Amino acid sequence: MLIGVGLGPGDPKLLTLKAVEILKNSAKVYVPGRLAKELVAPYAEAELLKFPMTRDSEVLNTLWKENADRLVEESKKGDVAFGLIGDPNFFSTFSHLKRVMRQFYPDVEFATVPGISSITSFAARTDVAVETSFEVSDGSEIGHKVHLKARHPKKILEKMEAEGYKDFIFAERLFSEKEVIIKEKDKIPEEGNYFSIIYAKK
Ligand SMILES: C[S@@+](CC[C@H](N)C(=O)[O-])C[C@H]1O[C@@H](n2cnc3c(N)ncnc32)[C@H](O)[C@@H]1O
C-alpha cells in the first residue's frame, strides 16, 4: 500500500501520533524535499523522490511516471510511506503521484494520513480567526467547495448544483466508528449530523 503521510507545517512537534507510527512501521519512506526529509529523520531514513519546480507538463508527466514505476513493486509488497509537508491531499505532489499510479497501476492500494495543513497553521501563527466562509486559491480557477456544518445536505447540494458544481461527497463523523461517506449524489440524505461536510467539485 502507498500511504501519503501529512507531516504538518514544519514544526517537528506538529506531526500526528499516527504519522509517526506509519513512518516507523513502513518498509520504505520517501519524501519530495529537504524539509520533509528532516521531519521524517527521527523515525525513518527517507529517500528523496525527484519533483522539480516546473510547470512544463511534459517534463512533469515523465517524472511522475518514473516515480510511479519506481514505487509500484514496493507498494504491492508492503507499506510504503510518502511524507509530505502539511496535508497530503491539499496542493500536494502525493495527488499527482496517486493519479499517475492509478492510471498505470490500478491495483496499487492507497491510504492517507491527514496532516496539519498550512491552511489552518497560518491562523495559529498570525492571530487570525476565520469565522465565515473563505476561499483558498493558488491562482487557478475555483473548482472545489467544502461546506461545513452540513445539517441539511440535500438543500446545500441543490444550491451548489445551481452554482455549477457536478460531483458531490457527503462525509459525516469522519475517523469515528460512526463514519458515513456517501459518493452517490442520489443517496445524499435530507438531514445530517452536526459533524458533517459536503464536498463539491465542478
Ligand atoms: C505544494 S503546497 C503544499 C501544501 C501542503 N500540502 C499543506 O497542506 O499545507 C506548498 C505551499 O504550501 C504553503 N505552506 C506549506 N507549509 C507552510 C508553512 N509552514 N508556512 C507557510 N506556508 C506554508 C505555501 O504556500 C507553499 O507554497
Same domain for 72 and 170: no
Beta bridge partners of 110: 2
Q: Is residue 63 part of a domain?
A: yes
Atom of ligand 1 nearest to the CA of 87: 8
Closest by CA position to 178, among listed 195, 153, 154: 195
C-alpha grid cell for residue 122?
A: 497560518
Determine, yes or no, domain membership for 32: yes
pLDDT tens track for 161-196: 999 999 999 999 988 889 999 999 999 999 999 899
User: Hey, is 189 helix, strand or coil?
Assistant: coil
User: pLDDT of 80-98, one tens digit each?
Assistant: 999 999 999 999 999 999 9
Same domain for 37 and 94, yes or no, is yes
- 22 lies in the same domain as 106: yes
Question: Residue 77 is which amino acid?
Answer: K
The model's pTM is 0.89
Q: What is the CB < 6 Å shell around ligand 1? A: 9-10, 84-87, 90-92, 117-119, 121
Return the closest-CA partner of residue 94 out of 61, 137, 51, 140. 51
DSSP for residue 4: E
Atom of ligand 1 nearest to the CA of 89: 6
Question: Mind listing the pLDDT tens digit for each residue in 130-163?
Answer: 899 988 899 999 999 999 999 999 999 999 999 9
Q: Which domain holds residue 157?
A: 144-201
Q: How many residues does the chain have?
A: 202
Q: Domains in the chain: how many in total?
A: 2
Extract the C-alpha cell encoding 113.
Answer: 494520513
State whether 101 and 172 are in the same domain.
no
Substitution site in 51, 116, 118 for ligand 1 pocket (most atoms within 8 Å of beta carbon): 118
Domain end (from 88, 120, 152): 120
Strand partners, 146: 199
Residue 50 CB-half CA count within 13 A: 13
- The predicted structure's pLDDT at residue 49: 93
130 within a domain of the structure (yes/no)? no
